[in-house]
Amino acid sequence: MKNKYLADLRENLDLYDMNEAEKNEIIDDYGSLFDDALSKGMTDDEILSYLGKPTRIIRELTEGCRRIKKSSKDSKIIAISPFITLIAYLILGFAFNLWHPGWVVFVLIPITAIVVEMGKNHDEHLTTALSPFVAVMVYLYLGLYENLWHPGWLVLLIIPILGIFNSRRTMKFLELITALSPFAALIVYFAIGEQGYYHPGWLVFFIVPIIGALNEKNIGKLLLTEFLLILGVIGYLYIYYTFDETWIALIAFAPSFAYGLYSGHIQIEFGNDKKMNIIVVLTIIAFILVGVLTSVWSLAWLILFVIPVYSIIRYSPKDTHLIAISPFVSVTIFMILGVLFGLWAYSWMAFLLIPMIAIIKEA
């Protein structure tokens, strides 16, 4: 670990115009810091957090030095990837008539850049960054070839799940489990649902507050909350199966809901940004309405883009709007052309909008 850390640090220092003696001195000093930390009984992760990753500390260490080069091997790999991809695409198209789904090879361009840039720093978010590409490809495969748009979309959950999981170093175990619980519940819900038990299978979502409540420090409050939640679930099932009354069965949750309001675990508020909250609520309603009315869930989810796009427009600097919004526009065009018109062979070109906008903006 120490050798790898120092090697990474050296690689980063080599990107700057700094004399060798100074670089060697820094490497020696960090070697000593590492030894001192080890002698204090710190783990590798703790040391990394204590000393800072080389990519994070390099700016401070090289203050006043000019950046002289990018790693030439990495630059070459990134620069050559579009050409290799294009050749592969043409071979697949002309030789094997695989224009579709041969276009998938273009995804290799951003994937190469991400792997090269993040891989060399052993960034734990590498899999997070790659997950959208892998998830969308698997999703499209399931949809196009197996006609499993639903529940195939569940594979998209791998994106937030990996995002949370890869942040585990900064989270306590209970926080990690709490953050992952909604996704686990959703997957279990659809697994049960597909067996014909969507109702009362939705009760599985109670695992979220049941786990979430474990974060409560006061043991009395914790036990009461858990008891009322479990009582609610059991009560609901009892009333539902005894009297076959769904709405009346909901009464079973009244005690836990009332206690949640009383204890402050449940808060109904509109926050400071009322406009944003209204947009969120309206967007979710529109998503559900469009989905239910048209059953085209494979497109309906695009409505949810309104939320990040609105927040970009509202909170980010004006001159970055176009670039920041372009991925959402591209995905929307990509999905509409693909799902509505079956033009998957061409719709990928929508992604070219992203670099095009960036180039025009920088010109």
Partner 1 sequence: MNSQFKRGIIELCALKVISEKDMYSFEVIDQISRDIEVNENTIYPLLRRLTKQGLFETYTETVAIGAPRKYFKITDNGRQRLESLDKEWRSFLRSVLNILDGENNEK
Residue numbers at the binding site for partner 1 (CB under 8 A): 26, 28-33, 35-37, 39-40, 49-53, 56-57, 60-61, 63
User: In whole angstroms, how close is the CB of 74 to partner 1 at the nearest point?
Assistant: 23
Residue 165 beta carbon to partner 1: minimum distance, rounded to whole angstroms: 22
Structure tokens at 102: 């041969």
Q: 169, 204, 186, 149: which is closest to 50 by C-alpha?
A: 169
CB of 174 to partner 1, least distance (A): 22
Please, which residue, 57 or 164, has the CB nearer to partner 1? Answer: 57
- The dihedral over CA atoms of 185, 186, 187, 190, expressed in degrees to the nearest 10, equals 120
Q: Which is nearer to partner 1, 42 or 284 (CB)?
A: 42
Return the number of the residue (18 or 280) whose C-beta is nearest partner 1.
18
Smaller CB distance to partner 1: residue 60 or 362?
60
Kindly provide the b/e burial profile for residues 285-301, where b requires at least 16 CB atoms within 10 angstroms of the residue's own CB: eebeebbeeeeeebbbe
d(CA 234, CA 254): 13
> Is the Cβ of residue 40 or residue 314 nearer to partner 1 in the bound state?
40
Geometric angle at alpha carbon 182, from 176 and 188, rounded to 5°: 115
Q: Which is nearer to partner 1, 54 or 102 (CB)?
A: 54
Q: Please list, residue by residue across 52-86, b when 16 or more beta carbons sit within 10 angstroms of its beta carbon and e when fewer do.
A: ebbbeebeebbeebeeeeebeeeeeebeebeeebe
Q: What is the DSSP letter of 133?
A: H
As measured in angstroms, the least distance from the Cβ of 54 to partner 1 is 10
* Closest separation in Å from C-beta 105 to partner 1: 38
- Give the nearer residue to partner 1 in terms of CB position, either 36 or 194: 36
Residue indicated by tokens 């000019």 = 66
List the structure tokens of 321: 């709007």
What per-residue string of b and e applies to 185-209 under the rule 16 or more CB within 10 Å gives b? bbeebbebeeeeeeeebebbebbbb
Helix (H) / strand (E) containing 199: helix 198-201
Which is closer to partner 1, CB of 24 or CB of 218? 24
For the record, the structure tokens of 164 come out as 């949370």
Q: Are the beta carbons of 112 and 78 closer than 8 angstroms?
A: yes
CB of 51 to partner 1, least distance (A): 5
Q: Which token pair is 347?
A: 């719709």
Q: How far is the CB of 66 from partner 1 (least distance, A)?
A: 17
Residue 39 or 267: which CB sits closer to partner 1? 39
CB atoms within 10 A of CB 147: 9
Q: How far is the CB of 39 from partner 1 (least distance, A)?
A: 8
Query: Shortest gap between Cβ of 30 and partner 1 (angstroms)?
Result: 8
